[in-house]
């Protein structure tokens, strides 16, 4: 992201909304979330109450970024049926429908646990949209498969639609520069 102060302000909890990309840029299609954040950030400007964050794979460390939010739009790969590149949308209740399971590594927990933890602390987002993509290949290596790359624009458009539904207008950047996907540079 180009705006250096964002994460800092984001965890301060001064902003009401966050668009969060999750995923590991070194693991093939798992880079979908960060790639969509790059696309969104390159194309649009948002009012200051919206933070656009590429958070990698924070596990339960996602929690502080959710504290104090009114709404969150999250982009990630999901374990769903369908062809690679299929976009699947989930609301908060659907994400939380099944309880978390006993875990072996303390770093297994993710979005589900983070949402429940902030709910218990009394400060989590009530409105959550997860924009998920069905990945093709998730192994060590850089770059999205063609089918998943083709879904990036649709996911970015979905982010803008959801923000509009939440009353936030995105402005197209002018002039536009290509997204800064540093991990894809040779």
Partner 1 sequence: MSTRITVDPITRIEGHLRIDVEVDGGRVKNSWSSGQMYRGIETILQGRDPRDAWVFTQRLCGVCTTVHAIASVRAVENALGIEIPINAQYIRNVILAAHALHDHMVHFYHLSALDWVDVTSALKADPAKAAALGESLSPWPHNSKREMEAVKDKLASFVAGGQLGIFTNGYWGHPAMKLPPEVNLLAVAHYLQALEYQFKANKVVAILGSKTPNIQNLAVGGVANAINLDNQATLNMEKLFMMKDLLDEVAAFVQQVYVPDVAAIGAMYPEWLGYGSGVTNYLSVPDLPLDTKGTQFDLPGGTIVDGNLATLKPITSFQDAYFKDNVTEGITHAWYDGDWDKHPWEEETVPHYTEFDGDKKYSWVKAPRFEGRPMQVGPLAQVLVGYATGHPIIKKYADQVLNTASAIAKVKLTPAVLHSTLGRHAARAVRAATLSELALKHLQLLTENIGKGDVAIFTPWTYPAGEQRGFGFHEAPRGTLSHWVVIRDGKIVNYQAVVPSTWNAGPRDEKGQKGPYEASLVGNPIADTAKPLEVLRTVHSFDPCLACAIHTLDVEGNELSKIRTLT
- Span of 106-114, 144-152, 161-169, 171-179 interacting with partner 1 by CB under 8 A: 106-114
Closest to 41 in 3D by CA, of 185, 138, 146, 182: 182
Select the residue interacting with partner 1 from 120, 172, 175, 178 (CB under 8 A).
Answer: 120
d(CA 109, CA 143): 25
Please tell me the distance from the alpha carbon of residue 163 to that of residue 33, in angstroms, as a whole number: 17
CA 176 – CA 43 distance, rounded (Å): 6
Cα 120 to chain centroid distance, Å, stands at 22
Question: Which residues have CB under 8 Å from 161's CB, separation 6+?
Answer: none
Q: Which is nearer to partner 1, 83 or 174 (CB)?
A: 83
Pick the piece of the chain touching partner 1 (CB under 8 A) from 41-49, 95-103, 152-160, 165-173: 95-103
Is residue 122 a contact point for partner 1 (CB under 8 A)? yes
Q: Does 113 bind partner 1 (CB under 8 A)?
A: yes
Query: Distance between CA 120 and CA 36 in Å, rounded?
Result: 30
Question: Least distance from C-beta 174 to partner 1, angstroms?
Answer: 26
Question: Residue from 83, 97, 172, 175 that binds partner 1 (CB under 8 A)?
Answer: 97
**Binding flag, residue 111, partner 1 (CB under 8 A):** yes
Rounded least distance, CB 62 to partner 1, Å:
9
Three-class SS of residue 146?
helix
SS3 88: strand
C-alpha–C-alpha distance, residues 98 and 112, integer Å: 9
What is the distance, to the nearest Å, from the Cα of residue 138 to the centroid of all Cα atoms in its chain? 17
The interface mask with partner 1, positions 126-145, x = CB under 8 A, is: ----x-x--x--xxxxx---
The residue within the footprint of partner 1, chosen from 47, 100, 165, 171 (CB under 8 A), is 100
By the rule CB under 8 A, 172 interacts with partner 1: no
* Residues engaged in binding partner 1 (CB under 8 A): 1, 4, 6-8, 11-12, 22-27, 30, 54-61, 63-64, 67, 76-81, 90, 94-113, 116-117, 119-122, 130, 132, 135, 138-142, 182-183
């Amino acid at each position: 992201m180009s705006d250096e102060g964002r994460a800092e302000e984001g965890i301060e909890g001064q902003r009401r909304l966050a668009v969060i990309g999750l995923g590991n840029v070194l693991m093939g299609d798992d880079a979908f979330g960060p790639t969509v954040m790059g696309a969104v950030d390159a194309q649009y400007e948002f009012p200051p109450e919206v933070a656009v964050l590429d958070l990698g794979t924070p596990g339960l460390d996602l929690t502080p970024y959710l504290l104090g939010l009114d709404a969150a739009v999250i982009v990630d790969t999901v374990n769903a049926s369908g062809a690679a590149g299929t976009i699947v949308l989930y609301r908060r209740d659907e994400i939380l429908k099944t309880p978390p399971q006993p875990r072996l590594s303390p770093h297994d927990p993710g979005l589900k646990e983070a949402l429940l933890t902030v709910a218990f602390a009394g400060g989590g987002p009530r409105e959550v949209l997860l924009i998920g993509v069905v990945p093709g290949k998730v192994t060590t290596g850089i770059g999205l498969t063609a089918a998943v790359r083709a879904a990036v624009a649709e996911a970015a458009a979905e982010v803008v639609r959801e923000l509009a539904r939440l009353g936030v207008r995105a402005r197209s950047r002018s002039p536009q520069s290509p997204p800064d996907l540093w991990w894809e540079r040779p």
